[in-house]
């Protein structure tokens, strides 16, 4: 990576470390589409065991694990309930309609939280032929568009109770679930008891170059495997990639706490900037903030870019800085100084 560039756009920009690359190169591999890549099987087993679920399926991306899961849970014409900020709804290219032919009913707050009471309001009457049958609830922890917010196991359990009561599937987009586990001191195994399916990303804060794992029951994953094939997501010597995921699980989980500390420090700085109007709670590794009305976020991005610092615009209003292992104290200091120096 260009040493002068401080890239806060996303935790997906991390490059594999030397040690991770060595682990990848040394991985025993087979043909995962034929079901005999030992390193892929090991990664799937490690995560399934950790979350107390029966099976796992290694996929190229978090979008694919989410999309496959929705496809298994639903039939065309069904309805999915999720937060208005959910990644599956906002950032997967209309995939729910394209891949599953479902429609979505959204609600909840501005931090990615959707309570059981709020979900109840979105439930369609099952005995009314005019309504699309509600089939699935999707939660997201942490919430990306919510600001890296942790949702908390108690709230997720309550939403799961609602889903069970109405015989709905319950999927977790856990792209950054390890950030939530570290921040809230929660147990992975508790999550396996709450959800029917969980998607975990290895290529975000955990720092692997590629890959997500979908977890669920044996039957669910057998169906998911068929859909992965249909979508073209079956990879052959994928063990080289899975090895990076195993390395990340062994070496990069605890260090997420460092990203969280840096995000809290950055958020404190941002909260004192005169041109910042709103800031989301920096529960984990993200800082999302909005500029005062009349200011153009593109001007701030250009000011930062000129100094080799990159942030991302989430939409025309909200800017995002994400902490990860390629940005340390030095990069955070540079960002804070550059933010302070912006003349509006």
Binds ligand PLP (CB under 6 A): choice among 14, 39, 55, 61 = 61
Segment interacting with ligand PLP, rule: CB under 6 A, options 43-51, 59-67, 289-297, 307-315: 59-67
**Nearest Cα residue to 122 out of 168, 155, 56:** 168
Whether the Cβ atoms of residue 171 and residue 136 lie closer than 8 Å to each other: yes
**Nearest Cα residue to 152 out of 132, 130, 172, 126:** 172
Could you write out the DSSP letters of every residue in 9-22? S-GGGPPPPHHHHH
198 binds ligand PLP (CB under 6 A): no
What's the closest the beta carbon of residue 226 comes to ligand PLP, in angstroms? 20
- For residue 49, count other CB atoms closer than 10 A to its CB: 14
Residue (63 or 134) nearer to ligand PLP, CB: 63
List helix spans (H) across the chain.
Answer: 18-25, 38-51, 62-73, 87-90, 95, 116-122, 153-165, 177-184, 188-194, 218-230, 239-251, 256-271, 297-305, 329-340
Tell me the residue length of the chain. 344
Residue (214 or 309) nearer to ligand PLP, CB: 214
Q: Give the residue carrying structure tokens 């068929």.
A: 226
Residue (88 or 339) nearer to ligand PLP, CB: 88
**Nearest Cα residue to 284 out of 186, 192, 205:** 205
Interface residues for ligand PLP in 238-277 (CB under 6 A)? Answer: none
Identify the three-state secondary structure at position 253: coil
What's the closest the beta carbon of residue 333 comes to ligand PLP, in angstroms? 26
What does each C-alpha distance from 57 to 184, 250, 277 come to in angstroms?
Answer: 26, 19, 43
Residue (120 or 184) nearer to ligand PLP, CB: 184
Number of residues that bind ligand PLP (CB under 6 A): 12
Whether the Cβ atoms of residue 301 and residue 319 lie closer than 8 Å to each other: yes
Beta-bridge partners for 287: 321
Residue (123 or 242) nearer to ligand PLP, CB: 242
Q: List strand residue ranges (DSSP E) for the chain, in order.
A: 6-7, 55-59, 79-83, 103-107, 134-140, 169-174, 197-201, 212-216, 276-279, 286-291, 309-310, 312-313, 318-322
Residue (56 or 338) nearer to ligand PLP, CB: 56
Interface residues for ligand PLP in 69-88 (CB under 6 A)? Answer: 87
149 binds ligand PLP (CB under 6 A): no
Interface residues for ligand PLP in 87-146 (CB under 6 A)? Answer: 87, 140, 144
Distance of CA 185 to the CA centre of its chain: 18
What's the closest the beta carbon of residue 129 comes to ligand PLP, in angstroms? 34
14 binds ligand PLP (CB under 6 A): no
How far is Cα 15 from Cα 270, in angstroms, rounded to an integer? 27
201 binds ligand PLP (CB under 6 A): yes
62 binds ligand PLP (CB under 6 A): yes
Binding mask 153-192 for ligand PLP (x = CB under 6 A): --------------------x-x-----------------
What's the closest the beta carbon of residue 56 comes to ligand PLP, in angstroms? 16
How is residue 193 written in tokens? 């008891």
The CB-nearest residue to ligand PLP is 62
Residue (149 or 203) nearer to ligand PLP, CB: 203
Residues that bind ligand PLP (CB under 6 A): 61-63, 66, 87, 140, 144, 173, 175, 201, 203, 212
């Amino acid at each position: 990576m260009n040493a002068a560039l401080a890239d806060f756009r996303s935790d997906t920009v991390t490059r594999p470390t030397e040690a991770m690359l060595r682990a990848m190169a040394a991985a025993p591999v087979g043909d995962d589409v034929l079901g005999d890549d030992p390193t892929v099987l090991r990664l799937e087993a490690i995560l399934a065991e950790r979350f107390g679920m029966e099976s796992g399926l290694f996929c190229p991306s978090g979008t694919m694990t989410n999309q496959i899961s929705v496809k298994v849970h639903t039939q065309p014409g069904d309805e999915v309930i999720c937060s208005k900020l959910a990644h599956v709804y906002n950032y997967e290219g209309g995939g729910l309609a394209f891949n599953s032919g479902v429609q979505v009913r959204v609600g909840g707050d501005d931090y990615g939280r959707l309570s059981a009471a709020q979900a109840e309001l979105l439930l369609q009457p099952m005995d009314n032929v005019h309504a699309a049958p509600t089939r699935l609830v999707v939660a997201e922890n942490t919430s990306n568009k919510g600001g890296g917010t942790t949702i908390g196991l108690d709230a997720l359990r309550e939403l799961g109770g609602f889903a069970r009561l109405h015989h709905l599937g319950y999927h977790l987009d856990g792209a950054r679930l390890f950030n939530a586990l570290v921040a809230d001191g929660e147990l992975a195994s508790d999550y396996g008891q709450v959800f029917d399916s969980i998607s975990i990303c290895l290529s975000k804060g955990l720092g692997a170059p590629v890959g997500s794992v979908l977890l669920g029951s044996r039957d669910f994953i057998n169906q998911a495997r068929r859909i992965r094939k249909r979508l073209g997501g079956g990879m052959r010597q994928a063990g080289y990639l899975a090895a990076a995921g195993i390395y990340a699980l062994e070496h990069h989980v605890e260090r997420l706490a460092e990203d969280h500390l840096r995000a809290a420090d950055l958020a404190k700085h941002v909260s004192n900037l005169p041109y910042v109007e709103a800031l989301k709670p920096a529960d984990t590794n993200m800082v999302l903030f909005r500029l005062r009305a009349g200011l153009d976020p593109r001007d701030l991005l250009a000011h930062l870019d000129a100094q080799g610092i990159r942030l991302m615009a989430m939409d025309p209003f909200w800017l995002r800085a994400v902490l990860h292992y390629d940005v340390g104290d030095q990069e955070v200091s540079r960002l804070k100084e550059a933010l302070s120096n912006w003349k509006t």
